[in-house]
Amino acid sequence: MANNKLVINPWKSIDVKDYNKLMKDFGIKKINPKNLPDNLYFRRGIIFGEKSLNLITVALEKNKPFVMMTGLMPSGKFHFGHKIIADLMIYFQQLGAECYIAVADVEAYLTRGIPLDKSRELAINEYLINYIALGLKPEKTKFYFQSEGAIDYMNLSKYVSKKTTYNELKSIYGEITPEKIISAFTQVADILHPQLSSYGGPKPIVVPVGVDQLPHINLTRDIAGRMKSDYKFIPPSAIFTKLMPGLKGDKMSSSDPYSYIALSEDPKEAAKKIKKHAFSGGQATIEEHRKKGGNPDIDVAFQMLLFGLEPDDKKLQQIYNDYKSGKLLSGELKQITIDKMTTFLTEHQKKRVKAQAQVKKFMAKV
C-alpha cells in the first residue's frame, strides 16, 4: 500500500477531506443516478460512489430477487447521521429488496464493551422503532442479532478466515487485534450469509454504508471472490454515503449529545441545540455577512437541509444562493432549519408512538 494512501479504520470515526482521492484510492465508481429511481441522496451527491451497483440495476430490470443488507452498531441514540442509511434501506425495500438488518451486538461487545442486553435494548427501542417510523416494513425484514445467528451463519463467520491473511487484514484496517479480526469476520458473514443455500443461494446484495465502513466492504468482496468455487457467492454491491457533519461542524459521535440531534429529541431542545451549537458558515458580523456572504458548504444548518430536511431541490438551491450572496443571515438560515426540524420531529414522533406496537408484535416473532 502506497504511503500516501488513506487507510480507513472503521472502529474510529474518520473525516474525509478529499472524496475524489478516496474514490481513486479505493476503486469506487462515481454513481450514476439515472440507473435507479429518484432519490434525494443520489441527486445531491450524498451517495457519492458505488461498487458493482450494476448488479442491482440489472436485477431490478429483470425483476430478479436481490437483497439489501445492512448492520447497526447499537451505541446510543438514533440520530440524523443514522437516518441516511435507514432511508436507503427503506428505499431498496420499496424497490423490492429482501431486507436483512444485523444488530452488531457481538461487535459492540468486542470492540466497545457494550453488554449484550444493553445492545438489544438500544437496537429495538432506538433503531428498530425509528426504522419502522421512517417507513420500514418489518414483515418484509429479517432483523437479527449477531449473537443469535443461525448455525450456518455462525460457521460462515469462521470459514471466511481461510480466505485472508493477517497481512491483508492489517493493510485493510490499518490496525488489527483479535477482537477486531472476529468482528470483521462476523461482518463478512453478515453480508454474505443471505447467499448461503439455506437462505436461497447466490443473489446480488446491496449494502448501503457510510464511507467509514469501506474496509468491511472491500474485505467481504475479496473473500466472496475467493470462496467462489465452494459457495458461488456474488461479491456484494455497495453504495457509499458521505458522513453527515456533527452539529459543531466536526464529527458526529454517539458519546457527545451536543454533536447530534436524536430522532426522539424534544423539538424545543433540538431548536436550542441548533441555535447554540450548530457550526455556522456565516461571517462574524451582519455587515460582513451582507458583504462577503456565508459559506453553506460548511454551515451545519444548511447541511441539515441538504441531507434531507428540505426535500425540494429548488428551494434548497435558493437558500444556498441567498446564503452565499449574504442575503440570508445565519440566524435566518438556522430558523429555517429549526422550523423544518420541528415539523419533522413532531411528525416523526407521532409515527414513533404508532411504531411501538408494531415493534412489540414484530419482536415477539423474531
| Residues near a copy of itself, by CB under 8 A | 106, 109-110, 147-148, 151, 154-155, 157-159, 161-162, 164-166, 169, 176-179, 181-182, 185-186
Pairwise CA distance, residues 58 & 364, whole Å: 36
Identify which of residues 23 and 182 has a Cβ nearer to a copy of itself in the complex: 182
What is residue 248's three-state secondary structure? coil
- Which helix (DSSP H) or strand (DSSP E) does residue 17 occupy? none
Pairwise CA distance, residues 165 & 163, whole Å: 7
Identify which of residues 20 and 177 has a Cβ nearer to a copy of itself in the complex: 177
Written as nine digits, the cell of 330 is: 445565519
Identify which of residues 177 and 325 has a Cβ nearer to a copy of itself in the complex: 177
Q: Is 56 left (phi over 0), alpha (psi -120 to 50) or beta?
A: alpha
CA within 13 Å, CB half, 355: 22
| Minimum CB distance to a copy of itself, residue 182 (Å) | 4
Which residues, in sequence order, are bridge partners of residue 209?
240
Identify which of residues 172 and 270 has a Cβ nearer to a copy of itself in the complex: 172
Written as nine digits, the cell of 190 is: 453478515
| Minimum CB distance to a copy of itself, residue 120 (Å) | 13
| Minimum CB distance to a copy of itself, residue 223 (Å) | 10
| Minimum CB distance to a copy of itself, residue 112 (Å) | 11
Pairwise CA distance, residues 1 & 23, whole Å: 15
Which residues, in sequence order, are bridge partners of residue 241?
47, 210
Pairwise CA distance, residues 204 & 65, whole Å: 8
Written as nine digits, the cell of 60 is: 431490478
Give 229: exposed, middle or buried? Use CB within 10 Å, 0-12, 13-18, 19+.
Answer: exposed
Identify which of residues 156 and 217 has a Cβ nearer to a copy of itself in the complex: 156
Identify which of residues 49 and 71 has a Cβ nearer to a copy of itself in the complex: 71
| Minimum CB distance to a copy of itself, residue 168 (Å) | 9
| Minimum CB distance to a copy of itself, residue 151 (Å) | 7
